[in-house]
Amino acid sequence: MSRKSSRSAATRRTSARTAGRHGHLTHFNAAGEAHMVNVGAKPVTDRLAVAEGRIVMRPETLALIRAGGHKKGDVLGVARIAAIQAAKKTAELVPLCHPIALSAIDIRFDTEDTPPAVRCEAAVRTQAQTGVEMEALTAVEIALLTIYDMCKAVDRGMTLTDIRLLEKAGGASGHWRR
Q: What residues are labeled active site?
A: 149
**Half-sphere exposure of residue 53, counting CA atoms within 13 Å on the CB side?**
24
Q: Which helix (H) or strand (E) holds 60?
A: helix 59-67
CB 83 within 8 A of CB 122: yes
Query: Which residue from 114, 117, 119 is spatially nearest to 143, judged by alpha carbons?
Result: 119
Exposure string for 67-77, b = 16+ CB within 10 A, e = fewer: eeebeeeebbe
Exposure string for 85-98, b = 16+ CB within 10 A, e = fewer: ebbbebbeeeeebb
